Amino acid sequence: MASGCRRALRAIVLVGVLLVLAVAAVALWGWQRYQGFQSAPLPGLHTGQVVQVKQGDSFRAVLARLRAQGINAGTDLEWQLLARQLDAAGKLKVGEYALDPGTTPRTLLQNMRAGRIIQYRFTIVEGWNFRQLRAALDAATPLLHQTRQLDDAALMAAIGHAGQHPEGRFLPETYLYVRGDSDLDVLKRAYEAMARALAAAWAERAADLPLTTPDQALILASIVEKETGIAEERAQIAGVFVRRLRLGMKLQTDPTVIYGIGSAYDGNIRRRDLATDTPYNTYTRSGLTPTPIAMPGRDALQAALHPAPGDALYFVALGDGSGRHVFSATLAQHNAAVRQYLDRMRRPPLPEEQAALAPADAQAGPAPDARIGPR
């Protein structure tokens, strides 16, 4: 009888060991499967695919949204275990997340836990006027559009600056935004960036400038911005305009006339345009224009407030496709430079000029219309 009991006990122990081994094997298989799940790229993803975590979403709701996009990797339990392991359950940040090829479940939940959401870019280009800026905002996606039905005055009121003219008030830079942001959000940030840049530049301005307010500096910077796209010429052109302001000479700069023509400008500036008086015609009116004529960049602000020394009062485009100018101290020198420019425009380009023409025009920046310069 004792022998039978021992045999029964051994059988029970053996069964127990087998059960433990079986459970361990299943656990090991499950652990290996779980490890493979969390580190394997999610199948079927394509570039540009995204998933959104919305305000108030539970983890189950986010998982259901992933499933709806065809992401069937892993069981719900595996996803929940991973979320607990990463301390992500209940802590996913609201936003839009990339589902690029190669994304693993672990990477995705880490991104959602850390709030690494997709950011989009909107660039304000140096030399744009406000009309061009509004058109670019209208075309930006997925930016929300809250300004389309607003005129300029209502738009400025909406960003907290009622009664201020919008031209020149938005700093040319690249601004990042996320899905759900609006054009008003971008404009507020660009306005504040320009206010800071202008204040900083004004605080460090050169002495004895014929400018009494930061707004005047902004106006001059916008004119400099439109007159040249050549970085090293900005301070020289600012110097010409500063000397003219000191002497009481008219600025006589074509971009201001073009701005005064507005949307009717057809790409050509004519003698009658130079003679037609508008608040922005610096051939018929002395001093600076009433407002900026474009969005000046930081370099143009620096040039306007740190003009290059010299005696030049005139400049004219070189006319070789480089976008550069010839600077003159006297009207006689300037007239000779203008004649050379006109002769160059009338004759076929030389081989070296032809070779340089296309890339140089592309570098000439936002002021291809300014050819003759101050008269």
Query: What pLDDT is recorded for position 17?
Result: 60
Asked if the model's pLDDT at residue 362 lies above 60, the reply is no
pLDDT at 322: 87
268 is a domain residue: yes
Same domain for 350 and 274, yes or no, is yes
User: Considering the domain boundaries, does residue 264 fall inside one?
Assistant: yes
Domain membership flag for residue 57: no
**pLDDT for position 34:** 65
Residues 210 and 192 in one domain: no
Whether 106 is covered by a domain: the verdict is: no
pLDDT recorded at residue 345: 79
Q: How many domains does the chain have?
A: 2
What 3 state SS string does the chain have? Answer: CHHHHHHHHHHHHHHHHHHHHHHHHHHHHHHHHHHHHHHCCCCCCCCCCEEEECCCCCHHHHHHHHHHCCCCCCCHHHHHHHHHHCCCCCCCCCEEEECCCCCCHHHHHHHHHHCCCCCEEEECCCCCCHHHHHHHHHHCCCCECCCCCCCHHHHHHHCCCCCCCCCCCCCCCEEEECCCCEHHHHHHHHHHHHHHHHHHHHHCCCCCCCCCCHHHHHHHHHHHHHHCCCHHHHHHHHHHHHHHHHHCCCCCCHHHHHHHHHHHCCCCCCHHHHHCCCCCCCCCCCCCCCCCCCCCCHHHHHHHHCCCCCCCCEEEECCCCCCCEEEECCHHHHHHHHHHHHHHHHCCCCHHHHHHHHHHHHHCCCCCCCCCCCC
Lowest mean pLDDT among 194-198, 267-271, 371-375: 371-375
Q: Examine the domain organization and report whether 155 and 251 are in the same domain.
A: no
Q: At residue 366, does pLDDT exceed 50? A: no
For residue range 180-192, list pLDDT tens digits in order: 999 999 999 999 9
Amino acid 31: pLDDT? 59
Supply the pLDDT for residue 89: 86
In a domain, 140, yes or no: yes
Of the residues 156, 173, 197, which one is the last residue of a structural domain?
197
* Mean pLDDT (the chain, rounded): 87
Question: Of 176, 197, 218, at which residue does a domain stop?
Answer: 197
Both 215 and 332 in a single domain? yes
For the stretch 54-94, pLDDT in tens is 999 999 999 999 999 888 888 899 999 999 999 998 899 99
Range of the domain at 135: 120-197
For residues 155 and 211, state if they share a domain: no
Identify whether 24 is part of a domain. Answer: no
What digits encode the pLDDT tens for the residues 213-263? 999 999 999 999 999 989 999 999 999 999 999 999 999 999 999 999 998
Query: Percent of the chain beyond pLDDT 90?
Result: 71
193 and 323 share one domain: no
- Which has the higher per-residue pLDDT, 197 or 1? 197
CB 246 within 8 A of CB 307: no
pLDDT band at 349 (very low <50, low <70, confident <90, very high): low
Residue 31 lies in a domain: no
Judgement on whether residues 284 and 302 belong to the same structural domain of the protein: yes
Residues 261, 327, single domain; the answer is yes
Residue 149: pLDDT above 90?
yes
For residue 344, the model assigns a pLDDT of 84
Q: What confidence score (pLDDT) does residue 7 get?
A: 72
Give, in degrees to the nearest 5, the angle at Cα 82 between 81 and 87: 100
Of 197, 228, 258, which residue constitutes the final position of a domain?
197
Q: In the structure, what pLDDT confidence band is assigned to residue 348 with cuts at 50, 70 and 90?
A: low
My answer on whether 159 and 127 are in the same domain is yes
Residue range 125-147: average pLDDT? 96
* 313 and 347 together in one domain: yes
Q: What's the mean pLDDT in 11-38?
A: 62
Tell me whether residue 329 is in a domain: yes
Residues 142 and 217 in one domain: no
Verify that 325 and 214 share a domain, yes or no: yes
pLDDT in tens, 296-331: 999 999 999 999 999 999 999 988 888 899 999 999
